[in-house]
């Protein structure tokens, strides 16, 4: 789909949810693009729980907002994703590189597990603090993570932006020319040359005048 321009000139907005393995692979790819090829991305949060909530039949006009929910309420997906998003917002206060380091560490903890290993509980503040110790100034993280109202306000900005754009899945990339689309990454690609080739293919299909809307493999 095509929409308004992203939030910052020359910067690609990438919407993601920590619950989604496709988003993890998309963020790994974007990280290589920014480090090795100079592309600029802005981390934005989109909630699959909110987008698929029964009280939100029209995702563009939600009445149920994840950031309005009580901490720990609801199922594991709701409570865990809210906690992870708030931690991600806290990490963003330490700058771009720190936020990327924390975001990828959290994604890897959730999705890059040994066979048979159970998924971590995102409601566990201890897990989030442990990752912060590895990637952030943990004392600043503790202070920022305690600012619940401020973090929820920042999260709401992302959720509101994603709703207005019609985002429905992750990762969704909002390109600098206004094109915006969800892309399911079946494989993890991290080699810089292969990453650039995949990105160029994705953007070529998205921006081509043929206006290809859907390619879906038979199962």
C-alpha closest to that of 92 among 154, 39, 170? 154
Alpha carbon 16 to chain centroid, angstroms: 2
According to the model, what pLDDT value does residue 51 have? Answer: 96
- Give the mean model confidence (pLDDT) for residues 135-146: 98
* Domain spans of the chain, in order of start: 42-168, 171-219
pLDDT digits (tens, 9 = 90+) for 58-98: 989 999 999 999 999 999 999 999 999 999 999 999 999 99
Q: Is the pLDDT of residue 3 over 60?
A: no
pLDDT digits (tens, 9 = 90+) for 31-44: 999 999 999 999 99
pTM for this entry: 0.93
d(CA 60, CA 77): 21
What DSSP state is assigned to residue 179?
Answer: B
């Amino acid at each position: 789909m095509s929409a308004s321009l992203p939030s910052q000139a020359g910067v690609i907005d990438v919407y993601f949810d920590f619950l989604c393995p496709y988003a993890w692979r998309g963020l790994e790819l974007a990280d290589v693009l920014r480090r090795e090829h100079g592309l600029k991305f802005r981390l934005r949060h989109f909630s699959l729980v909110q987008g698929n909530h029964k009280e939100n039949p029209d995702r563009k006009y939600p009445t149920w907002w994840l950031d309005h929910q009580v901490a720990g309420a609801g199922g594991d997906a709701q409570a865990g994703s809210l906690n992870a998003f708030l931690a991600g917002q806290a990490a963003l206060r330490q700058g771009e590189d720190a936020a990327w380091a924390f975001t990828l560490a959290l994604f890897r903890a959730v999705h890059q597990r040994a066979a048979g290993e159970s998924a971590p509980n995102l409601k566990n503040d201890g897990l989030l603090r442990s990752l912060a110790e590895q990637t952030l100034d943990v004392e600043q993280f503790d202070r920022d993570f305690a600012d619940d109202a401020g973090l929820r306000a920042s999260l709401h900005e992302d959720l509101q932006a994603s709703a207005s754009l019609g985002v429905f899945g992750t990762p969704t990339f909002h390109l600098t020319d206004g094109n915006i689309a969800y892309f399911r990454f079946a494989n993890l690609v991290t080699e810089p040359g292969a990453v650039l080739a995949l990105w160029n293919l994705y953007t070529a299909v998205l921006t081509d005048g043929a206006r290809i809307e859907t390619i879906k493999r038979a199962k």
